[in-house]
Every structure is written in C-alpha cells, then in structure tokens.
Amino acid sequence: MKHLSTFAVAALLSVAFSANVAARGGDNPPAKPDFSSIDADGDGVISLAEFSESAPPHGDAQTIFDEIDTDGNGEISEQELSEHKPPRRAR
Ligand SMILES: [Ca+2]
Ligand SMILES: [Ca+2]
C-alpha cells in the first residue's frame, strides 16, 4: 500500500480483517468514514464514482465497492455500508 487514502486503507482493512477487528478492537477505534462524507451528492446512495473519489482508482476501488455492494445493484446504500463494517462489539 503506497498512496491509499485513509478510507481505502480502512476499507481494505475491514475487508481483509473483518474477522480480526473484534479481537483486536480496544480503545483504538479504526477510522470510519461517514456515509454522508462519501455520498457527495447526498442522494442517499454511494455510486462507484463517489466511492472512487474517496478510494483512489487503483483497481481496488471496484473490488472494494463490489465487496460492499452486496446486492450488486451498483450502488452502496447506507445499510450496505454499515453492514460491511465489522460489527462493533460493546465489549
Ligand atoms: Ca450519491
Ligand atoms: Ca447495493
């Protein structure tokens, strides 16, 4: 990873380590991008273009986008994004 944005790193980490985050979690919350900060036009869904604005198009953006877009309709809903994030356990 060279020039990935904070969001791309967070997304990659949550994809790769979603199972491990709970075990690692502690007083060190991972950077969580706000849905509204990614949804640039505020229409309530994140398009690949909007996603790419947050995640540099390294080819990974599409991969990560597909990971999050669980129903494959080409848009990430707030629910899809929230469900993609590793569940936050209240200890
Ligand atoms: Ca949007
Ligand atoms: Ca979707």
Report domain extents, the chain. Answer: 1-27, 31-91
User: How many A from CA of 12 to the centre of ligand 2?
Assistant: 18
Residues 27, 73: Cα–Cα separation, whole Å: 36
Q: How confident is the model at residue 43 (pLDDT cuts 50, 70, 90)?
A: very high
pTM value is 0.56
Question: Do the Cβ atoms of 9 and 58 come closer than 8 Å?
Answer: no
Question: pLDDT tens digits for 71-91?
Answer: 999 999 999 999 986 666 776
Å from CA of 81 to ligand 2 middle: 9
How far away, in angstroms, is 76 Cα from ligand 1 center? 9
**CATH for 31-91 (3.40.50.1400, 1.10.600.10, 1.10.238.10, 3.30.70.1400):** 1.10.238.10
Ligand nearest to the Cα of 79, by number: 2
Compute, in angstroms, the gap from residue 46 CA to the centroid of ligand 2. Answer: 9
